[in-house]
Amino acid sequence: MLKLVTFYTSLNSVNSFQGINDLQTEADRSAQRCIVNSLLKQFPKVTIIGEETLEKLENEEELIVVIRVAPLDGTAECTQAIYPVRKLRFRKVKNEEDYTKLGHTMWGIVGAGTHGINPKKPPENKRITTTRSHSNLIINSTIASMKPDEVLKVGGAGHKYLKL
């Protein structure tokens, strides 16, 4: 993970079209180009929409197959070097797998199952995962109204999903 943070920060943060708290790095854009080009070689007629670009397709709902690419999860946390701090400061939870390894890929398709991850039953308590970097009064009051047993503030949509 430290290598990944070094890679991220050395490739410079760049302006994002989505706002100040939605950071992008050259690593995000480079990874997206690599993923998209690889997919297009295998599936030349498929429509691919990348998270890091401005492209919006007018006829998106008419398409049979659309691949959405979100190349790197938790960019804000990596550019702020938060992941290695979290990784070093907190001990690993018993029986929780480490999905932060460099190069770890997880994927799933409805009907085909999941790969690269061992599915587990959800916890008994009411756990909410929420944004670490985009919070506001509305989000906080909504979470409070649900009376959760546990609130995890983490970066990256994929990371939030895994923490549920």
For the question of residue 28 being annotated catalytic, the response is yes
For the question of residue 75 being annotated catalytic, the response is yes
The annotation status of 63 as a binding-site residue, yes or no, is no
The annotation status of 164 as a binding-site residue, yes or no, is no
DSSP result, 72-118: SS-HHHHHTTHHHHHHHHSPPPTT-----STT---EEETTTEEESS-
Location of structure tokens 């691919």:
48
Q: CA–CA separation, 117 vs 99, rounded Å?
A: 8
Q: Which of 25, 75, 79, 129 is labelled catalytic? A: 75
The annotation status of 77 as a binding-site residue, yes or no, is no
Which structure tokens are listed for 97? 């797998």
- Rounded CA Rg of the chain: 18
Q: CA–CA separation, 42 vs 21, rounded Å?
A: 34
Residues contributing to the annotated binding site for Mg(2+): 51, 72-73
Point out the residues that are catalytic.
Answer: 28, 75
